[in-house]
């Protein structure tokens, strides 16, 4: 029985060999097999190249991941703990409040400076008016002095409700005092008579 199975196997083998010979006899089949073999070699070469590139990229990515891990560890070590963070936050808040207070004070000082500038302008204006008033007063005094030296009459300007004053002699001594009612038209005549009598 062993011989018959062995014979069957040999017969199958011879049959396969015959089939293979028939295939190899045909030139097209040899060309196809050769081309397939060439494609297989090209594909294997391409796969090897891709495999090497993937391996290289994998190593690069592993190096980058390692670098990121180191950076993460470094960042974690540099991060302050919660208590210190609270302290820094509180200190920042205090500094912020100080800055706000200083800004408010600065704003108040700026307002005061503007108010002082406004007052200074007003004072300068008043000074100009006062200087003009003093100049006008001096002019009026000179006029009065001139009128007094011509007419020998010094008017009393304190009471504007009446015409009054003093008649002065050549030696600057008061001769007599006069007073007229401004509503009385004869007051001017009386005054002229007093001037002419000097």
Q: What mean pLDDT do residues 55-80 have?
A: 82
pLDDT at 19: 74
The better pLDDT of the pair 6, 131 is held by: 131
Please say whether the dihedral angle defined by the alpha carbons of residues 40, 45, 51 and 53, taken in this order, is positive or negative: negative
Domains in the chain: boundaries: 83-151, 152-198
Q: What is the mean pLDDT of residues 25-31?
A: 66
Question: How confident is residue 1, by pLDDT bands cut at 50, 70 and 90?
Answer: very low
* 13-50 b/e (C-beta count within 10 Å ≥ 16 → b): eeeeeeeeeeeeeeeeeeeeeeeeeeeeeeeeeeeeee
Q: Is the pLDDT of residue 30 over 70?
A: no
pLDDT exceeds cutoff 80 at 127: yes
Rounded distance between C-alpha atoms, residue 28 and residue 34, angstroms:
10
pLDDT for res 80: 55
Query: To 5 degrees, how large is the angle CA 11–CA 14–CA 15?
Result: 85
Determine the pLDDT at residue 79: 64
Q: What is the pLDDT of residues 63-72, one digit of tens each?
A: 888 888 888 8
Residue 171 vs residues 72, 166, 175: alpha-carbon distances, Å = 112, 14, 10
Q: In what order do the strands lie in the sheet with 163-168?
A: 153-155, 163-168, 174-180
C-beta contacts of 145-152 below 8 A and 24+ residues apart: 151/195, 151/198, 152/195, 152/198
What's the pLDDT band for 75 if we cut at 50, 70, 90? confident
In the prediction, which pLDDT does 119 show? 87
Q: State the pTM of this model.
A: 0.35
Tell me how far apart the alpha carbons of residues 144 and 151 are, in angstroms, rounded to a whole number. Answer: 10
DSSP secondary structure letters along 97-129: HHHHHHHHHHHHHHHHHHHHHHHHHHHHHHHHH
Which residues have CB under 8 Å from 197's CB, separation 6+? none
Confidence of residue 167 (pLDDT cuts 50, 70, 90): confident
Please write the tens of the pLDDT for every residue from 172-185. 666 677 777 767 66
Q: Of the ranges 15-24, 105-114, 165-174, 183-192, which is most confident? A: 105-114
Q: Rounded mean pLDDT of 151-158?
A: 75
pLDDT score for 24 = 64
Asked if residue 29 lies in contact with residue 23, where contact means CB atoms within 8 angstroms, the answer is yes
């Amino acid at each position: 029985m062993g011989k018959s199975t062995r014979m069957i196997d040999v017969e199958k083998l011879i049959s396969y060999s015959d089939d293979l010979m028939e295939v190899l006899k045909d030139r097209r089949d040899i060309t196809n097999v050769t081309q397939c073999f060439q494609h297989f070699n090209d594909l294997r070469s391409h796969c090897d190249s891709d495999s090497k590139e993937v391996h290289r990229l994998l190593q690069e990515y592993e190096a980058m991941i390692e670098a990121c891990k180191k950076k993460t560890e470094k960042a974690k070590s540099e991060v302050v703990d919660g208590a210190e963070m609270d302290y820094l936050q509180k200190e920042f808040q205090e500094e912020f409040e100080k800055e706000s207070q200083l800004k408010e004070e600065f704003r108040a000082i700026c307002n005061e400076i503007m108010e002082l500038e406004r007052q200074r302008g007003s004072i300068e204006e008043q000074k100009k008016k006062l200087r003009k008033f003093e100049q006008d007063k001096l002019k009026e005094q000179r006029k009065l002095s001139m009128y007094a030296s011509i007419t020998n009459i010094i008017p009393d300007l304190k009471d504007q409700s009446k015409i009054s004053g003093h008649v002065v002699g050549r030696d600057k001594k008061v001769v007599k005092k006069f007073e007229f009612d401004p509503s009385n038209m004869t007051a001017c005549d009386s005054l002229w008579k007093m001037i002419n009598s000097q």
